[in-house]
Amino acid sequence: MAEFTLELNDDQKQVRDWLHGFAEDVMRPAAAEWDEREETPWPIIQEAAKLGIYSLDFYAQQFFDPTGLGIPMAMEELFWGDAGIALSIVGTGLAAVGVLANGTEEQIGTWIPQMYGDVDDVKVAAFCSSEPDAGSDVASMRTRAVYDEAKDEWVLNGTKTWATNGGIANVHVVVAVVDPEIGSKGHASFIVPPNTPGLSQGQKFQKHGIRASHTAEVVLENVRVPGHCLLGGKEKLDERLARARERAKSGERVKNAAMATFEASRPAVGAMAVGTARAAYEVALDYAKTREQFGRPIIDNQGIAFQLADMRTQIDAARLLVWRASWMATAGKPFTSAEGSMSKLYASEVAKKVTGQAIQILGGNGFTREYPVERMHRDAAIYTIFEGTSEIQRLVIARTLSGMPIR
């Protein structure tokens, strides 16, 4: 187990500088265009694939970094470039992680390569969990998966929403209810292969921010997938359901697996927020040093200088919380105080605040699309919503501190 450190090693610094160069030279010049177009930036994803950034190998290397800092470092640099484009690049990773966490070796080897495609024909994947009536409340999920034993097929019906890459993905990973009697413990995940009949894209959302990332509903109407598309296999599922039913009969409370998974992944979202906040702060700092009013740079005014001091302090504090939680997760240390939710809560709130302050420092210019802080402020709004709202984070933290179950 690596000791916790705030100093990146030479390899990490090299990766950080490489990603920063891509974010600065490729993502930033295209950010405004793809924000306006509200379309998936396929040429940039392809460029990322050519460089090795858009690949399972790259994310696996960062994920297995023994210090735990690989993923947050990568997320911060990419989202410093542009949040919408960055989410288009990393969104496939949500589905890939779902397969890695729950799939067999054969499923991992079969489906993850199809999620990414290759440099000449890049693909994306979608992870479909949220529903119109089941976002934070995963126990209210209505999408059903029924096993057709005669054909060894699962039949999926329901509607998913807020799915990154939903409908345009080559491979969809869908969470569905297989046993509604035991609530969230009766869920399972399924691979829906390319061109499977019955899966269609519903509404594509026109969003306030992260507009270069495709977000849509996914409609499942009698979608039939082979038995081998159940992640982990039916034998493993039957064993898990049997244990959950016995615990339900005995009245034993079982920790919600989905909530536990989100808790472990939340530091990565916090790192995304840190990247966006840092980007807006740097624009505001440069502007304050060059913009003159009353014969001097506006950073000489205490009102501006103190805002910038607070912005930088809060960004650094957010990064420290993210790095601590990321190291703890890699080191196998339990989040006894919901440190994962702490990092996501604080970093996301900082991103909203700092990007708003950046607009204020730029004044009228900050309110226009001529400067990027307006876009960054719109992008930052998502961090307090997805992967659990700020209110859910506070609930998780409070229940963890009090010893109450997280449901």
Closest CA to 339 of 253, 404, 401, 256: 401
* DSSP assigned state of 212: T
Closest CA to 347 of 304, 318, 385: 318
Instruction: Indicate the SS3 state at residue 263.
Output: helix
Burial (Cβ within 10 Å: 0-12, 13-18, ≥19) of residue 69: buried
User: Could you give the CA distance from residue 277 to residue 76 in angstroms, rounded to a whole number?
Assistant: 9
Q: Looking at residue 250, what is its pLDDT?
A: 67
Indicate the range of 236-245, 252-261, 292-301, 319-328 predicted with least confidence: 252-261
* Cβ neighbour number for residue 38 with a 10 Å cutoff: 17
Closest CA to 278 of 210, 372, 360, 345: 372
Which percentage of the chain shows pLDDT scores above 90?
81
pTM: 0.92
Chain-wide mean pLDDT for the chain? 92
* Catalytic annotation, pick one of 217, 349, 374, 387: 387
User: Could you give the CA distance from residue 10 to residue 28 in angstroms, rounded to a whole number?
Assistant: 26
Active-site annotation holds for 387: yes
For residues 386-406, average pLDDT: 88
Instruction: Indicate the SS3 state at residue 200.
Output: strand
Q: Are strands 187-192 and 199-204 parallel, antiparallel or unpaired?
A: unpaired
Q: Is the pLDDT score of 339 beyond 50?
A: yes
